């Protein structure tokens, strides 16, 4: 019994330490994501995915995040959408935002969270780096902005 309680105390201590480390995970739980506000998660997606290129590019990325947020197939929080494995830039929730692009990301995040959307994105829930092309016929491109190409996946008939 004493060995079990000692093990539980060690696990609890590790969990407490992990919560204090931004971007770390413990047993598959991303503690940094749990500490971030919806605005910070939105800012980070826009900052890293648009390469801080323009307000238009950030707004387009933010629109994709919200399109996913509003789709029942995706998580029900902005941080959940941004933190989904293999969906956004690696380290998006843990890397530091180190330049003035963070100020622009903050401003655009406020706009997106108040309901602004990039009209060119339409219903797109996906994007990739501009200039790349893939051999799939279900990718319907709707916009190029901020160094990315935005597309909808449509059923081919």
CA distance 135 to 139: 9
Tokens of 22: 């931004």
Q: Each residue of 99-144: pLDDT tens digit?
A: 889 999 999 999 999 999 999 999 999 999 999 988 889 999 999 9
- Give the DSSP H/E element, type plus range, for residue 108: helix 101-113
What is the pTM for the complete model shown?
0.77
CA distance 121 to 116: 12
């Amino acid at each position: 019994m004493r060995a079990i309680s000692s093990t539980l105390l060690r696990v609890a201590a590790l969990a407490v330490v992990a919560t204090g480390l931004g971007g770390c995970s413990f047993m598959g739980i991303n503690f940094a994501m749990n500490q971030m506000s919806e605005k910070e998660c939105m800012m980070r997606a826009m900052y890293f995915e648009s390469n801080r290129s323009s307000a238009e590019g950030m707004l387009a990325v933010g629109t994709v995040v919200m399109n996913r947020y509003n789709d029942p197939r995706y998580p029900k929080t902005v941080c959940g959408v941004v933190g989904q494995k293999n969906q956004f830039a690696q380290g998006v929730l843990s890397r530091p935002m180190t330049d003035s692009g963070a100020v622009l990301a903050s401003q655009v995040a406020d706009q997106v969270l108040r309901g602004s959307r990039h009209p060119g994105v339409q219903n797109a829930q996906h994007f990739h780096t501009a200039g790349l092309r893939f051999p799939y016929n279900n990718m319907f491109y709707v916009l190029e902005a901020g160094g990315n190409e935005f597309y909808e996946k449509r059923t081919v008939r």
